[in-house]
Structure formats: structure tokens, C-alpha cells
Chain A
Amino acid sequence: MRISTSWAQQTSVNSMLNQQSRLNQTQMQLSTGKKLITSADDPAAAARIIDFKQSIKQTEQYQSNINTARQRLTLEDSVLQGATDILQRVNELGVRGLNATNSQSDRTAIAVEMEELNQQLLGLANTRNANGEYLFAGFRSATQPFSKNTSGGGYSYAGDSKQRAIQIGSTRQIADGDYGTNAFGVPTGPLPATVPVPGAITNIFEAIDKFATDLRNDTPNSASLDDISKSLDKMLTVRASVGTRLNVLDNQEGNNADFVLNINTVLSQTEDLDYAEAISRFTQQTVSLQAAQQAFAQVKKLSLFNYL
């Protein structure tokens, strides 16, 4: 076929430009490490990548939520640990105080220590976390939950009976704490006409107060020990539930990590470049561009006008 001179030049230039643009695409892939430079390279994969990345980011957020929950529950656990120790000490003192060989002054001394321990316990029940939130106030986290009534005796609870949930998995929430009355019992408040009888006092502060008062009056009631031990049981139950929740967190963290790993694997298959393939493609494209350039230079030398 007849070939026009300018078109022959144009086609060679066009083919060199095409090869350059392909080479450039490969070079971009190599420098970014990604198969897709724009979503037009593979629209379906581009949409999937957005999905994967969103799932990863979301799950990573759950992991961070788990850390928050763990930190709170660990704090609660250590507070409850302290409270349990105090209760055990109170129990010991109570057993000693009930001993008939004690004189009134011995019992007064025991009562003083018991009241001191009760103060400590109250302090623990009003513990705040790093944000200044009260641990055992439920949703009213800005309000001090337990306080001793200034008149009429007894204690009152200013929190509520709600637990804050934290999202730790796409369908899983966990309570990051327990409300005060759950761990320390419901106070009766200012003493009513019928004073609670030892053995039927549910609130730990009131129980210890009653025990201490009886000791001072040299009339300890052995049923007070039941109050203490029931409170101890209640507290241990809460601690067990905290421990269970910490386990759940560990479990869920493992699940989440597996999930992220899986998605990352699929994501990498979808968007990451196969370097071996890309480098061999790059070499091949470089060679063909060089060949095209050399061929162009050679052919351009050929002209009948050289011989005129």
C-alpha cells in the first residue's frame, strides 16, 4: 500500500506516545505499589476497596473502644478488690468484737477502726476515673453517688441504675461499669421509725455503721456478720461479672483482629500490585519503546532525496 510521508511519521510518533503512556501507567503502579491508579482502571474493585477500608477502619475503632472499656473495667476491678479487702478486714474485726471476752473499751477501739474502714470504703465507692466521672453513679456520672446523710443518719445514693454500653463489635455492646447500688447495696437513707435490724441491712455502709454503733454500745449483734458477708457476696458477684466482661473483651479483640487481618488480606489482593509481574512488564515496555525509537531514527534516514 502507498504510504504518505507525513502519515508514516505521525503513526510512528503515535505509537511511541502510546508506548510512553503505557510505560507511565506501569511506572505509576510501581511507584504507588497499587494495581489501580484511578477507579476507572477497575470500577468494581474501587467500590470494593472503599468497602474494605471502611470495615477495617470501623473494626479498628472497635478495638480502640475495647481499650476504653478494658481500662474502665480494670479500674472498677481494682476498686472492688480494695473494697473486698476492706470488707474482709471488717469481718475479722466483727468476729473479734463479738467475742465475749472483750471489754467495752476494746469494742470501742474496734468500732473506731471499723468506722475508719467504712470511710475508706465510701471513698472507694465515690472513685472517679481519669475524666472526673464517678465510677458508680450510673449515667449521672457528674454527681457523687454515695454520701452520708448529715441529719437522720443513714446514707443516700444520688446515681441511677443504668449502665453505659460501649460498642465493641458490629453487633456487640458491653457495659463499661456497674452502678453503685448494685455493688454496695441500696441505702435506706435517713433512718425511718423502724430502725433496720442487723441481718436485714442491705447497704454495706449502713451495715458497718450499725455494727460499729452496736459495738460502741457494747451490744454487738452476731447477725451483723451476716450483713457483712451478704455484702461481700454481692461485691464478689459484681467482680466476677467484671472479670467475665474483661474476658469477653479479650475474646472480641481477638475476633476483631482476625477480621481485620482477613480483610487486609483480601484488600491487598484487590489493590496491591504484583511487583514481579509489574517489573517484568516495565522491562518489556522499556524495550519496546527503545525499539520503536531506534526504528524511527533508522527509517527516517531513508530517502531517495539522499541520492539526488
Chain B
Amino acid sequence: MTGILGTALSGLMAFQRSLDTTSHNIANVNTEGYSRQRVELSTQPAHFTGTGYIGQGVNIATVSRSYDQFITKQLISSTSAFAETKTLSTLASQVDNMVANEATGLSSALKTFFNAVNEVANDPTSLPARQVMTSEAGSLTQQFNTLSTRFEDLRKQTNKQMQATVNDINSFAESIATLNSKIITGSSGAASGLPNDLLDQRDALLAKMAEKVGISTIAQQDGSISVFIGQGQSLVLGVNATKLSLVGSSADASHQDVFMGGQNISKQITGGELSGALKFRDEVLDPAQQQLGLLAAGFAVQFNAVHKAGFDLGGVVGGDMFGLGAVPVVPAPGSTGSVTAVYNPADTGNLKPSDYRLDYSGTAYSLTRLSDNKDIPLPGTFPGIPTSVEGMTITELNPPTGGQSSSFLIRPTFEAAKKMTMSALIIADPSKIAAAGATGEPGNNTVALKLADLEKQAVLLNGKATFSDAYGQLVAKVGTSTRSANISSSAQEALFNQAKQTQESLAGVNLDEEAANLIKFQQSYQAAAQAIAVARSLFDTLIGAIR
């Protein structure tokens, strides 16, 4: 008799737990990262009697969660890949819209300007025509400046986004370390089960972190999980988390790199929004800005060179129409000596959209083009005689002291579009436009014709590109990067969805299934309760027989 009661009670207990878990599942149907749980039942060890083994009811073995570490790892890696390409594609689209748009792009400003130059060539003595050319030159300059400012805004925005991402990564790492410590405590000792909900929380954090940066994980014996980024740099080790930080480069504070423990790990970071933002900067934004600068520098230098050969309405020799200044040279910290660089009008074809590094080893100089890390040979006469390389003339002003090694960053194109200005003299007096080929000949338009002809001259990119071609190349480059980012983003999205579906198929809650379970466990509970009722009536019968 006590057997019936005990067995029935064990059933009641087991089904109550099952109902609890079912309603827990239902309650968490929309919880991010939740893995459905089920109560694992087993038979209680049977009681041996002379007539054989008699069952003693049911036992709750454990509450397990549906979990597969391979599926989870797959999901984490495809999350990173998707987040990376999505970030890259979103950011690249902004540049794409900017350069390809008729209103914000440069092509229409270039065309209008050269049309105005043509009008001056047609009517070199007409002040209205000169006035129009002056204002068109002004708006072209403005257009260069505006585009460059927008690129800089994008850079700032990207930096902010990277900072937010790094902050997120740090706080996730912190939380994972904390959870690690709770899980170590929760899964050790007398408790036989695992802290399922804590494990879910940790997995959800890992998934969130994977969105920010590509990670690899290793589960430890004690239940904790270690997280690595890049090429094995440990972010979380047991209960300890390491912090990432962003540090601006010494030559350009707006060029930020990811540091961990004093070491630059930008190059090693793969996957996630962080990598997407870094890739955007290195593969889309910087090259676009360099190419725009190349166009600005090439245009201004060529135009000035022709213009200075002419004479204005007053018969005075022409000046610079566009201001650009010297090529910026930034010495690395600790460098001594000084170096200057200016644009070489005869060699704009060799100007490249890149920064350069001039190193002094202590005995000799060497020049490296940073876009492709190519060594640019310097003539043996340098530094004694200034040298003309890559569209610039580089001059050593003062040698580094005492044969100390030094390094200089030379940036011919990076800021050219930003620094371009229009001559204030010409703005104030358009008759200063030098259209004539000789002094005292106001009707002479030979220089104006040459200026107008510059539109058709292939003076950029090894003498293969006109100004408009160079801009077309910029648009095509940005467009191609954006397109390939878009394509790989949708490919990665498909992979991510597949991984997510596999994961959800295993771990997600299905309400119909839970409804069916609810009915099943309710019926089982009712049946077990019925067994108790039977036991009671048996007991009553027995009592009645004695009475």
C-alpha cells in the first residue's frame, strides 16, 4: 500500500517538474539565446522481494538543455562573418552614395568649370566670362573641400562606432568572466545538474560578442569558457578579462588602431563589426580619400603650371589659381633632422594615391610607398641634391643629428582635397586670370585655350587618365568595393540564417510542441493523482474490513 502511494507521489513530483519546465519553456519562447529545457526521467531502482523486482516509481535524473557545441560554434563564426560584411557594406554605401551622386559628386563641378574656361578662351577680354570662371573655380574648390570634409566626417563616425564596439567588447568580456565564475561555483560540489540558464546567458553573450568581433572559444574542465580574438590573443581566461583599447597613430590621431596590452592587433582582427569598420577604413575610405586628393593635387598643380605661363588682362604674368601648399611631411616621434616635399608639376603622372615613409637608417635614406609597401629607389645623389620621385620633389633641409635613425611620413594626396584653396587675388579681381600668351595682348587666348585643353589631357596616373577619368576611377573603385561588400553580405546572411535555423531547430521553443507536452504532462499528473485516490480507497476498504 505504501508502495502505491510512494510510486504515485514520485509520479506527481516528476510531472509537476515537467509541467514547470514546459511553462518555463513557454515563458522563454521569445528570450534571445534561450535553449529549450526538458526534464530527463528515469526509473527508480526497483525493490527486490522474494517474488522478484517491484518497481518503485520515477526519478528526476536531471533538467537538460538542448545544446550542441558544434552548432553553437558554427553560429558564432557565421555571426562574426555576417556582422563584418554588413558593417562594411553599410559604411561603404555611404561613400558610394556620396561620390556617385550628381549633386554631391565632383564630375559636374569639373565639367562646369572647364566650360567656363572655354568661355574665357572664346572671349578673353570679357570680364563677365572671367567672373563666371572665377566663381566656377571657387565652387569646384568648395566641392573638393566638401567631399573631403564628408570623408573626414565618415572617419570620425567610424572611429566613434569602433570606440562603441570596443566598449561593448570590453563589457561583454567582463560579463563573461563574471558568468564563468558563477558557473564554476554552480556546477561544482554536490549539485549534479548544470546551471542551464547561466550557460544560456553566457552563450547569448558570446553570440553578441561575435557580432562585434570574431572570436574562438575553448571550454575548460571547470565549466568556464576562454575567449580568444585575432590570432589567439586571450580576451577572457577563466574569471579574468583583458581590455581592448583604441589608440590614434602618432602621425595622424584620427587613424585609430586596436591595442591589447600595449600591442597593436588591428591587423590580426578578423570578423565582426570591428573588423568591418577597420576594413572599411583601410580598403574603402582611405583609398577613396587618397584618390580624391590625387585628383585635387594633380588638377591644381597642372592648372597652376599652365596658368603661370600666361599673362593677365593687365599684362602681368599669371600667379597660382589654386593654392595647395607643400606636401605635408610628419616626422615620427624621436626623429631628428627635417625634410620637405613639394609637388612636381612636370611629373603629376607619377603621383600615386598613397602615403610614403622616408626612413633614415643612420647612414642612408630609403623611401617606401605605403599603399603596396613598395621600395622606391632614391638616386645616389640624395640627400645631397633634392630628388624628384612619385610626382614630388623631396629635399633634405637638415640631416638627422649624429647619424640617428629617423622616419618621416610624407602624404602627397591624403589631405590635398581638404587643403585646396582658390586664389584670393583672382576672387577679388578676375582680370588676374592669365589667358594671354604674351604681355600687352588682351585679345590673346592661347593660354586660355591650353587651360581648356587640360580637360582632355591624360596627365594623371602614368599619363593614362584625364581628371574626369581619375574621378571615374574613384567612383568605379568605391562602387566595386561596395558591390562586393553587398554581395558577400547577402551571402554571409544566407549562411548565418542557415546556422541560426539549425541552432533554432535544435534549441528553439516550439509552442505547439509545448502545448502538446502540456496536455501530456497534465494527463500523466491527473493519472498519478488518480493512483493516489485508488490507494486511499484501498486503504479505506482495508480499514472497513477491520472495523
Residues of A within 8 A of B (CB): 1-7, 11, 14, 38-44, 46-48, 50-51, 53-54, 57-58, 61, 64-65, 68-69, 131-133, 137-142, 160, 162, 164-167, 170, 173, 176, 303-305, 308
Report B153-185 CB contacts with A as 1/0, cut-off 8 Å: 000000000000000000000000000000000
Ordered by A's residue number, 30 sampled pairs between the chains whose C-beta atoms are within 8 Å are A2-B505, A3-B504, A4-B505, A4-B508, A4-B509, A6-B504, A7-B500, A38-B96, A38-B479, A39-B478, A39-B479, A40-B480, A42-B479, A44-B476, A46-B100, A53-B107, A54-B107, A58-B455, A64-B119, A133-B442, A139-B436, A139-B442, A140-B441, A140-B443, A141-B125, A141-B442, A142-B443, A166-B122, A170-B456, A304-B511
Q: Once bound together, how far apart are the Cα atoms of A14 and B496, in whole Å?
A: 13
Residues in B whose Cβ lies below 8 Å from that of A170: 456
Q: Once bound together, how far apart are the Cα atoms of A165 and B124, in whole Å?
A: 11
Once the chains bind, are B443 and A2 in contact (CB under 8 Å)? no
Q: Once bound together, how far apart are the Cα atoms of A160 and B456, in whole Å?
A: 30
**Inter-chain residue pair count (beta carbon < 8 A):** 173
How many chain B residues touch the partner (CB < 8 A)?
66
Q: Can you name the residue of chain B whose Cβ is closest to the Cβ of A138?
A: B443
Q: Can you name the residue of chain B whose Cβ is closest to the Cβ of A306?
A: B515
Q: Once bound together, how far apart are the Cα atoms of A167 and B455, in whole Å?
A: 13
**A6 and B29 contact, Cβ closer than 8 Å, known pairs A43-B476, A54-B468, A305-B511:** yes
Q: Report which of A6, A61, A305 forms a contact with B114, defined as CB distance below 8 A.
A: A61
Report B99-124 CB contacts with A as 1/0, cut-off 8 Å: 11000000100110011001101111
Is residue B39 contacting chain A, with contact meaning CB distance below 8 A? no
Say whether chain B's binding surface is mostly helix, strand, loop, or mixed: helix
Once the chains bind, are A47 and B475 in contact (CB under 8 Å)? yes
Once the chains bind, are A11 and B29 in contact (CB under 8 Å)? no
Q: How far is the CB of B140 from chain A (nearest CB, A)?
A: 14
Residues of B within 8 A of A (CB): 29-30, 92-93, 96-97, 99-100, 107, 110-111, 114-115, 118-119, 121-126, 436, 438, 440-446, 449, 452-453, 455-456, 468-469, 471-473, 475-480, 482-483, 486, 497, 500-501, 504-513, 515-516, 518-519
Given contacts A5-B509, A40-B479, A140-B442, 18 further A-B pairs with CB under 8 A are: A3-B504, A4-B507, A4-B508, A5-B508, A39-B99, A39-B475, A40-B96, A40-B478, A41-B479, A43-B475, A44-B476, A47-B472, A54-B107, A57-B115, A137-B443, A166-B445, A173-B449, A305-B511
Once the chains bind, are B471 and A141 in contact (CB under 8 Å)? no
Once the chains bind, are B111 and A58 in contact (CB under 8 Å)? yes
Q: Report which of A4, A57, A165 forms a contact with B510, defined as CB distance below 8 A.
A: A4
Q: Can you name the residue of chain B whose Cβ is closest to the Cβ of A131?
A: B126
Once the chains bind, are A47 and B501 in contact (CB under 8 Å)? no
Residues in B whose Cβ lies below 8 Å from that of A40: 92-93, 96, 478-480, 482-483, 486
Once the chains bind, are A14 and B441 in contact (CB under 8 Å)? no
Residues in A whose Cβ lies below 8 Å from that of B110: 54
Residues in A whose Cβ lies below 8 Å from that of B512: 5, 303-304
Q: Can you name the residue of chain A whose Cβ is closest to the Cβ of B121?
A: A167
Q: How far is the CB of A162 from chain B (nearest CB, A)?
A: 7
Q: Can you name the residue of chain B whose Cβ is closest to the Cβ of A142?
A: B442
Once the chains bind, are A5 and B441 in contact (CB under 8 Å)? no
Q: Report which of A11, A69, A137, A173 forms a contact with B501, defined as CB distance below 8 A.
A: A11
Q: Once bound together, how far apart are the Cα atoms of A210 and B119, in whole Å?
A: 44
**A304 and B482 contact, Cβ closer than 8 Å, known pairs A57-B111, A58-B114:** no
Once the chains bind, are B444 and A162 in contact (CB under 8 Å)? yes
Q: How far is the CB of B165 from chain A (nearest CB, A)?
A: 24
Q: Can you name the residue of chain A whose Cβ is closest to the Cβ of B99?
A: A39
Q: Once bound together, how far apart are the Cα atoms of A78 and B110, in whole Å?
A: 38
Q: Once bound together, how far apart are the Cα atoms of A142 and B125, in whole Å?
A: 8
Q: Can you name the residue of chain A whose Cβ is closest to the Cβ of B485?
A: A40
Residues in B whose Cβ lies below 8 Å from that of A65: 118, 121-122
Q: Once bound together, how far apart are the Cα atoms of A164 and B476, in whole Å?
A: 39
Once the chains bind, are A50 and B93 in contact (CB under 8 Å)? no
Q: Report which of A38, A58, A68, A131 forms a contact with B482, defined as CB distance below 8 A.
A: A38
**A51 and B115 contact, Cβ closer than 8 Å, known pairs A68-B122, A167-B453, A304-B516:** no
